[in-house]
Amino acid sequence: MTVHLDHLMVPARDKVASARLLAELLGVPWSESGIGPFVPVYLNDGLTLDFDQWSDPFPLLHLCFRVDQDEFDAILGRIRAAGIPYRSNVHGPVDYRIDTEHGGSIVYWNEPDGHQWELLTVSYARRE
């Protein structure tokens, strides 16, 4: 049996703004409305992030997006154009640098609600 992650719910203070920002940065489609109360961001043919409006405190997520180097460069360009601070270390200070110590390119940034996004070109979690 093969298991596929189909969707993941992402809590947000402003679900539309959060979904729009991530979709625009990643260059993927999204919709202001989806099934139920969710605002979906369609990462690929099999995975959707469903942003949901929360007023209560919520846990912060860390999600990592793997792309090829050309997409990485394009997304990083959009992050820079949006004036979003980024860093080369998961827990490090904003240094506007790219980590290249793991066999590819990696950057991290936080969205307004505090969720941490990671962008990389080579998975360090699944080395051959």
**Residue 35 in 3-state DSSP?**
coil
pLDDT at 127: 67
Question: Could you give the domains of the chain?
Answer: 1-56 (3.30.720.120), 60-128 (3.10.180.10)
**Chain Cα centroid distance, residue 2:** 24
Q: What is the pLDDT of residues 24-69, one digit of tens each?
A: 999 999 999 888 999 999 999 999 999 999 999 999 999 999 999 9
* Neighbouring C-beta atoms of residue 101, cutoff 10 Å: 9
Is residue 90 within 8 Å of 102, Cβ to Cβ?
no
pTM score:
0.92
**Residue 9 in 3-state DSSP?**
strand
The mean pLDDT value of the chain amounts to 95
117: part of which helix (H) or strand (E)? strand 116-120
Q: How far apart are CA 79 and CA 109, in angstroms?
A: 9
